Amino acid sequence: MDKFVFLRIFVLVSTTIFSFAKPNRSQFNVLDYGALPGTTEDSSQAFLRAWNDFCNTTTEDPVLTVPPGKTFLLNPVVFNGPCKPKHLTLRILGVIAAPSSPKTWSRFDPGRWLTFRGVTGLSIAGCGGFDGRGEGWWDQSCRDHQGLKLIHTYIEPQALSFQLCNNITLSNVHFINSPQVHVLIYGSSGIDIDSILIDSPGNSPNTDGIHIQAAQNISITNSIIGSGDDCVSIGDYTSNIRISDVECGPGHGISIGSLGKDGNVVQVENIHVTNVSFTNTTNGARIKTWQAGRGYVRDISYKNCKFDSVNYPIIIDQNYCLKGDACKEMKTGVHISNVTFDNFSGTSTTDVAISLNCSWAVGCTGIILQSIKLTSAMTGKRVTSSCTNAHGNAIGMVEPPSCLS
């Protein structure tokens, strides 16, 4: 046989074999790409290979599975989009675990663990979860160990981040012991979070449950969040956020802010929180801004909330300052307006159950207190309201009595 003919036949056969070896399919499993169960062998590259094929398949509705009954160790990784399918499903049936030592981050971005960037149409669901193994980070926290010589860096990793993503659903999975924020949503739109569990100790520093920044059209529903910081925190440039049917505790409540620390122009609006129970939290419904900030926080509602031994059930602090009362008064401020607290009941562990500490320079306006009944968690004690330059109306029964002007 002519050697050139033989070569052409060989290339044709090899190409055919290769195409069958890597078919364009709709089902993917990380085990098929070399992922190794356990917490000693790094499976990051195997997950990235699986993601690459999953993200680039031309079949519709592909599924990538992390199998049940197994734990996989992943170093910091970024799952990049855009992906070819319009709808994709990542099934988390096992557990994805972070490295246990902060030293591992010496060659990685210390601020991130698992990041989805530029992805659209992804559904993450399953009965598995994410173990941030954050104890090593908490032990070197700047907040709790000032002056400590850090192992690597003071920037603790956020567990799961969505950056520049659209139309994402996250449901049924659980998160435990993140080094810092458990779920970060940044620069994204159309993110729906439903029926998730977040569980970290109340004394774990900076472990917000969910943090939202520069994002729109976000919903958080039917979830249980316990952490060492805010159950949900809402940062700047956010709008159209809906939070409902959430159990919060331990933690610092559901907070808007802090905003305007560096004198930036704040733009936050249309934030609606309903049917939330707060248990043993430091705050309940909270808005906090720095005096240096400018701009607005407006059209906010907290409705149908219950409080069990919460330090400050209702709090607006327009003079937020890390130095307590040591920050001097300024002539700037973020305008907080059209805020409703409606149908609240439960107990406060402090004397001031309603604290509306607004700026003398830029007061709070359009504040509504409606159907409020807050009592002391301690038998025989009474609770009060405290207002500074807070303007609005009390509707129906308000206990303790309103101090709005």
Tokens of 242: 């809906």
Backbone angles phi, psi at 50, to 5 degrees: -65, -45
The bridge status of strand 112-117 relative to strand 390-399 is: unpaired
Q: Whole-angstrom Cα distance, residue 159 to residue 184?
A: 8
Residues 341, 372 contacting (CB under 8 angstroms)? yes
Active-site pick, 145, 252, 272, 335:
252
Q: Whole-angstrom Cα distance, residue 27 to residue 89?
A: 10
Q: Whole-angstrom Cα distance, residue 8 to residue 328?
A: 82
Backbone angles phi, psi at 362, to 5 degrees: -135, 90
Q: Whole-angstrom Cα distance, residue 351 to residue 375?
A: 9
Residue 20, classified by CB atoms within 10 Å of its CB into exposed (0-12), middle (13-18) or buried (19+), is exposed
145 is known as an active-site residue? no
* Cα angle: 72, vertex 77, 80; to 5 degrees: 120
Residues assigned a catalytic role: 252
